[in-house]
Structure 1
Amino acid sequence: MTRKPAIEDVALQLFASEGFEGASLGRIADAVGIRKPSIYAHFRSKEDLFLCVFKRTLRRKQYMLLRHILQDTARPFEQTLRELIERLMDDHESDAETRFLLRMCYFPPSALHDQVMALVNPFFAQAELGLIRLLEQPVHSERLRPEGAQEAALAYLTVLDGVMAEAIYTTRAKAARRLEAIWPVYCRGVLIAE
């Protein structure tokens, strides 16, 4: 049985809690129950391990986001999008993958900045396109202001960024307070007044 998944799982936990610099290969190996040189049977370096974990986590989170958005496309999009922010705030507190991903999107290791951003930027570009496609569906687009789906999607990502930055830097309670304040403004800004 390969230890590669176990190494990745432990590395994820340590990268999420201590960052790239704080998570040593020695501590990862000890937590897995192997010797440090055994890690090199699966990964060329700490940087290689980090990037493998980052790619895996990005794929999983992308799948989760897509599944959330597509679970019920007939309900009001603003409900789906708000619930997504709330879920991400909850996940930031309880899920190492979300903590890791958010931490590394905001604070990538300086030595891996370009490689991380080369993965993150397409991820956010795809997220924006997915949101635009959702908002372009007739059931949603007829409720949007003339500026339409593209503006609503970009504004949503800006709201999401602000709320999640608050969750990362402070607490979930403060992030929730920020969401409560901005959400009605977002909805008034993108929806046609009824």
Structure 2
Amino acid sequence: MTRAKLIQAAFHNFGEHGYNGGSLAQIAEETGIKKQSIYTYFKSKDELYLAIYERAMLNELEFMKAAMTSYAQQSIEEKLLPLLQQVEQRMGQYVETKFFIRSTYLTPPHLAQTLTKLTYYYLDYLEQLFEDYFTTQHITVSPQEAAISYLALLDSLYVEMLYGGNERFLKRLHASWKIFYKGITN
């Protein structure tokens, strides 16, 4: 039970403050234990951070996989535009998602190599997931090109979620979706 509480507190703390601003003392306090007790479960701040990053990444992969496999025959507009909107909603609703997106773009330099490997795993998985979907659609570009372009769109929206807020996110979403959709269907 304490390990699960630690993980949840770490998601919240690192999601709000990042690696450098994250505090093991605050995580321990929120969990109701002493800071030294964290080391019973995790050898270091780095180990805790990496463990929750991997967990958050797997959660996001499961979300994407479920979203892409449900209603597999939906059109591009019915499926992929709402998916982008759901990603933004998840950022506001789930500390795990907020942590994952923040950590993907604001990587602690000394953990960059490890986090980059995990991030590339995530991106490669998504690329294949989207490519598989695009093979079932009538598009004017290759499924791989469509998948890569959709990932670029998603990537830009992640950045806007971090830095721009809801209004800027929606502005970027509507403009870029229009161009993306026309680009792959006309």
User: Scaled by the length of structure 2, what TM-score is found?
Assistant: 0.96
Question: Which SS does the other structure have where 1:40 is aligned?
Answer: helix
Residue 148 of structure 1 and its aligned partner are, at CA, apart by 1.7
1:119-134 alignment to 2 at 5 Å?
119-134=118-133
Q: Distance in 2 between matches of 1:167 and 1:24?
A: 24
Residue 100 of structure 1 and its aligned partner are, at CA, apart by 0.6
Residue 94 of structure 1 and its aligned partner are, at CA, apart by 2.4
1:18-167 alignment to 2 at 5 Å?
18-137=17-136, 140=137, 143-145=138-140, 147-167=141-161
Q: Distance in 1 between matches of 2:154 and 2:78?
A: 14
Say yes or no: does 1:184 pair with 2:178: yes
Residue 23 of structure 1 and its aligned partner are, at CA, apart by 1.2
Residue 79 of structure 1 and its aligned partner are, at CA, apart by 2.3
Identity of aligned residues (%): 25
Q: Distance in 2 between matches of 1:40 and 1:154?
A: 41
| Amino acid aligned to 1:97 | E
Residue 169 of structure 1 and its aligned partner are, at CA, apart by 0.7
Residue 91 of structure 1 and its aligned partner are, at CA, apart by 1.5
| Amino acid aligned to 1:15 | F
Residue 89 of structure 1 and its aligned partner are, at CA, apart by 1.0
Q: Distance in 2 between matches of 1:187 and 1:58?
A: 27
Unaligned runs of 5+ in 1: none
Q: Distance in 1 between matches of 2:70 and 2:46?
A: 36
Residue 170 of structure 1 and its aligned partner are, at CA, apart by 1.1
Q: Distance in 2 between matches of 1:77 and 1:4?
A: 41
Q: Distance in 1 between matches of 2:69 and 2:77?
A: 13
User: Scaled by the length of structure 1, what TM-score is found?
Assistant: 0.93
Over residues 110-148 of structure 1, what are the superposed CA-to-partner deviations in whole Å (9 max), with x where a residue is unaligned? 1211111111111101100111011112xx1xx110x32
Q: Distance in 2 between matches of 1:80 and 1:97?
A: 23
Moved over 4 A (4+): none
1:8-27 alignment to 2 at 5 Å?
8-27=7-26
Name 1:168's counterpart in structure 2: 162
Residue 80 of structure 1 and its aligned partner are, at CA, apart by 1.1
Residue 84 of structure 1 and its aligned partner are, at CA, apart by 1.1
| Amino acid aligned to 1:53 | I
Residue 93 of structure 1 and its aligned partner are, at CA, apart by 2.0
Q: Distance in 2 between matches of 1:67 and 1:77?
A: 16
Residue 78 of structure 1 and its aligned partner are, at CA, apart by 3.0
Question: Which SS does the other structure have where 1:17 is aligned?
Answer: helix
Query: RMSD of the TM alignment (CA)?
Result: 1.0
Residue 16 of structure 1 and its aligned partner are, at CA, apart by 0.3
Unaligned runs of 5+ in 2: none
